[in-house]
């Protein structure tokens, strides 16, 4: 029998195959099992931020206001040609609140009604006014203030000619 140059390589390959077939087989490693997730803990969601409501603080009437819209000299009696201001002071915060001023004459006749939308973040002053260049009739008047449809204040006043 003639030995070829490939014979030693074939011999080594045959021995390796034989040994692997007869040898002890290694067991496949156990599969890695991920730990079970921790049980979900029931937690309440964080409370939603509570919108602070706009609340009424004070109503002032006068015939002039300053740069901050505050009445400069409170009054309850006005001349027929005066501009009558109603300064509504509020506290609180809201993304939108509606303040309404309803002005009426003594017999309940509507003189004027005005609404303003505000978005305050703390203390605020909202000013309303009525004016009649040729003069209001003398008599008793009233202004009613509502915030978001709820009545919060009412103030009576008089219009009379100066003496």
For 99-123, write each residue's pLDDT tens digit.
Answer: 999 999 999 999 999 999 999 999 9
pLDDT reported for residue 124: 96
pLDDT reported for residue 162: 84
Rounded CA separation 147/58 (Å):
12
The CATH number assigned to the domain with range 55-157 reads 2.60.40.10
Could you tell me the CA-to-CA distances from 34 to 27, 28, 31, 38 in Å, in that order? 21, 18, 9, 12
The SS3 assignment for 5 reads coil
pLDDT averaged over the chain? 83
Q: What is the pLDDT of residues 50-88, one digit of tens each?
A: 456 899 999 999 999 999 999 999 999 999 999 999 999
Rounded CA separation 160/79 (Å):
5
Rounded CA separation 132/138 (Å):
12
Rounded CA separation 113/138 (Å):
20
pTM of the model: 0.68
pLDDT at 28 over 70: no
Cα separation of the two ends of the chain = 150
């Amino acid at each position: 029998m003639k030995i070829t140059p490939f014979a030693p390589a074939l011999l080594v390959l045959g021995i390796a195959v034989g040994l692997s077939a007869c040898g002890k087989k290694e067991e496949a490693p156990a599969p890695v099992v991920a730990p079970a997730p921790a049980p979900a803990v029931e937690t309440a969601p964080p409370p939603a931020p509570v919108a602070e409501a706009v609340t009424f603080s004070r109503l002032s009437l006068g015939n002039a206001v300053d740069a901050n819209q505050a009445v400069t000299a409170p009054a309850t009696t006005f001349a027929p040609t005066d501009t009558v201001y109603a300064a509504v002071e509020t506290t609180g915060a809201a993304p939108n609140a509606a303040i309404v001023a309803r002005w009426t004459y003594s017999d309940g006749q509507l003189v004027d009604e005005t609404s303003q939308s505000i978005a305050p973040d703390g203390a605020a002053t909202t000013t309303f006014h009525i004016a009649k260049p040729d003069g209001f009739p003398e008599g008793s008047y009233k202004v009613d203030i509502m915030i978001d449809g709820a009545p919060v204040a009412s103030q009576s006043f008089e219009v009379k000619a100066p003496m």
